Copies of this chain bind each other. A is one copy, B any other.
Amino acid sequence: MVLDPTKHADWEIAQEAETRMKTVYQIGEELGLEKEELLPYGHYVAKLDYRRILDRLGDKSDGKYVDVTAITPTPLGEGKSTSAMGLVQGLGKRNKSVIGAIRQPSGGPTMNIKGSAAGGGLAQCIPLNEFSLGLTGDINAIMNAHNLGMVALTSRMQHEANYTDEQLAQRNLKRLDIHPKKVEFRWIIDFCAQALRNITIGIGGKADGFTMQSSFGIAVSSEIMAILAVATDLADMRRRISKIVVAYDKQDRPITTADLEVDGAMTAWMVQAINPNLMQTLEGQPVLVHAGPFANIAIGQSSVIADRVGLKLADYNVTESGFGADIGFEKFWNLKCRYSGNKPNCAVIVATIRALKCHGGAPIPVPGKPMPAEYKNENVGWVEAGTQNLLHHIETVKKAGINPVVCINAFYTDTDNEIKAVRRLCEAAGARVALSRHWEKGGDGAVEFADAVIDACEEPNDFKFLYDLDTPLDKRIELIAKEVYGADGVTYSADAAAKLKRLSADPDMATMGTCMVKTHLSLSHDPKVKGVPKGWTLPVGDILTYKGAGFVVPVAGTISLMPGTGSDPAYRRVDVDLESGRVTGVF
């Protein structure tokens, strides 16, 4: 029945499977949901009323908590979402009660170069169109909430420029005296729109806005996306949104959304978005989709709320943290689990033989270009050398005190000798290793993988954070750089050093987490350096503050909050089948 993944695009496989997928009502019934807890959006997607569910199941013990992370990926990705879906399907084949918890993709990469983020082959999240094209509107809600904040900020600056104190008082307004060079907030849009990266706004007369430099970031980099990921309930979300610092005044005092009297209205746009979305795998297991990607420039985790719901509804909750364990898992470990209080039982590290070869010395593959010939032939030497990157990430997971499972995400060009080499090195380092063929065979190909995870979850573990919240900021950054990235130390730009000093004196710091911004393409800050770089220091160029989300954000290297659309973007191949209304070409 299922289409052959070696002959069909992911979207073709998804659409064929969608002809016989379960309705969301059936999935809700299988999960034991009450009618009011399931808010359908069409017949195949629903939002879950997290609050009713958590109220009803508050006393039930949590299921096992599994995070799927990866080695340092090539620009093509390691198939982490595919492996997360494969694991859910494999656990389903073992008759386990299981739920997946993944992130909603951003329209930027989907329309640009990456295509869908729903997995691939026979391990996918469906219905694919809804997943890839805005789902139930959470990212749009973030866009509206966020940009309303910018409307409030920019129109306030204009009115303060045009009106006297007395005229402001007639409108019950007190001058905020925002410093136009100290505006921290930017606009957002959910595409890779490099033309909006640096802009001048407010050109024209006095009714056409305050003239100043401004910028658009990609929607998923929004502080409100971070808040959606870590908020525990609506009251918590409301409180966090009100603390977002949008600018500083001329005396260098922070100006918040609450000062702009827009925090309530911003929250109003988010009341539906706080509920996680229920979908399904190709094989009918439930999947929660909530919050957004980009662990390099954002927290990039599925939401605390989705995981809490998943842990109550199933015996296994499989979540995913973006990119490699240095980036995604480190934030899962020290930020998300700290806010949620949930303790993971095991972390899966996904690796492809392709990426291990790349870390071992093979030429770096380029998206959209043919794969270099080196990847088609056996080369155990490259694989062994590249496995050092994998071993580094195994050590990271062990530092968190939890049990690592290596998943070799199989590809048809892999050879037995290459796989044996990885197994040998990883098992020697104390990790379980499973070869998994979920891409080719779905859940049937992932039972070895599922068994390894089941075993790892049964073992005791000793989960602990890398740093306590009373650790000074510079020490935290140093710990992450040395213990997770393998750097020798940290250097700061003058600007970052000044901010470090100011932040270290801020009493609010004690309750804030550290959310690093760094490339995902290397353990270091330089995307070109593969393997396990030695003898380097991490340059921190800037430190942002997300007071609402509760993050201090050190920025390592040069990385933009607005990616660019390439010259051969995916949207060229996207269309609509006019007969069925289904979208084609999102692969």
Residue positions of A touching B, CB distance < 8 A: 36, 39-43, 47, 51, 107, 111, 129, 133-134, 136-137, 140-141, 143-144, 147-148, 150-152, 154-155, 158-159, 163, 168, 171-173, 187, 189-204, 207-210, 214, 234-235, 238, 261-262, 264-265, 267-269, 271-272, 564-572, 574-576, 578, 581-583, 585-586
Contacts and interface: CB of A to CB of B under 8 A. Distances in A.
B194 A209 contact: yes
A235 B578 contact: yes
Given A133-B271, A200-B203, A268-B586, 20 more contacts: A40-B41, A42-B272, A133-B268, A136-B137, A140-B140, A140-B144, A143-B143, A151-B191, A151-B192, A151-B193, A152-B569, A155-B566, A155-B569, A158-B195, A193-B209, A194-B209, A197-B204, A199-B201, A234-B576, A271-B576
Contacts of A208: 194-195, 197-198, 564
A190 B567 contact: no
A581 B151 contact: no
Most buried by B among A172, A187, A193: A193
A169 to B, nearest CB: 11
12 contacts: A107-B148, A154-B195, A155-B565, A155-B567, A172-B568, A193-B209, A194-B202, A194-B207, A194-B208, A198-B202, A199-B199, A268-B583
Nearest to A581: B271
A505 B152 CA distance: 46
A171 to B, nearest CB: 5
Contacts of A203: 197-200
B42 A47 contact: yes
A240 to B, nearest CB: 13
Identical copies of this chain, number: 2
A267 B40 contact: no
B171 A195 contact: no
Nearest to A41: B41
A572 to B, nearest CB: 4
B585 A264 contact: yes
Top 5 nearest A-B pairs (CB, nearest first) are A195-B209, A264-B575, A265-B571, A140-B140, A154-B195
B199 A575 contact: no
A578 B147 CA distance: 22
Contact of A194 (B155, B172, B265): B155
A20 to B, nearest CB: 15
A133 B145 CA distance: 10
A272 B135 CA distance: 10
